[in-house]
Amino acid sequence: MKTIASFVINHDILEKGMYVSRVDGDVITYDIRMKKPNQGDYVSNGALHTFEHLFATYARNSKWADGVIYIGPMGCRTGFYLLLRDTISKADAIVLVKESFAFISTFEGEIPGSKPIECGNYLEHDLPGAKEIAADMLDVLADWEETDLVYPTE
């Protein structure tokens, strides 16, 4: 079998940030790397779960909602994939991520979609953990520009 694109990225040099992972027709997959790979520091399951609920809720209610295809955590627990239609510019994708993370970093109240009838694992949420990661990523992405969306090669 062919090696999938995300496995050919050198994870030894990958830093926290936002990268274009692949382009498939009119769909752009963004790699939002929230933890440096293979360093023993991963996003907890509860924080990852809460982050997913809040990120998806914000993005799918934003002005870019029609172009949002998918938001989901990486199995390695180092980040998220964000799939957007190319009708959303790369500059706007960065803005969407920053706005989403600002929303998460200050969120208070009931986590959207966290009732038993709405969620398959409603007991495993960690709002403080999700807020901490969002705040950290706002610092990482503060000056992020389109030119930064390219994976490092060295």
Predicted local distance difference test score (pLDDT) of residue 93: 98
Distance CA 95, CA 74 (A): 21
Average pLDDT of the chain, as a whole number:
95
pLDDT of residue 77: 97
State the pLDDT confidence band at 145, using cuts at 50, 70 and 90: very high
Strand partners, 29: 22, 83
State residue 4's pLDDT score: 75
Tokens standing for residue 54? 């809040």
pLDDT at 10: 86
Q: What band does 129 get if pLDDT is binned at 50, 70 and 90?
A: very high
Residues 96 and 64 sit within 8 Å (Cβ to Cβ): yes
d(CA 52, CA 75): 13
What pLDDT, on the 0 to 100 scale, is given for residue 2? 82
Question: Are 64 and 84 contacting, i.e. CB atoms less than 8 angstroms apart?
Answer: yes
Q: Give pLDDT, residue 39.
A: 92
- State the average pLDDT over residues 39-63: 96
Q: What is the pLDDT of residue 121?
A: 95
pLDDT of residue 8: 80
Per-residue CA distances from 152 to 18, 58, 96 (Å): 11, 29, 22
Confidence (pTM): 0.94
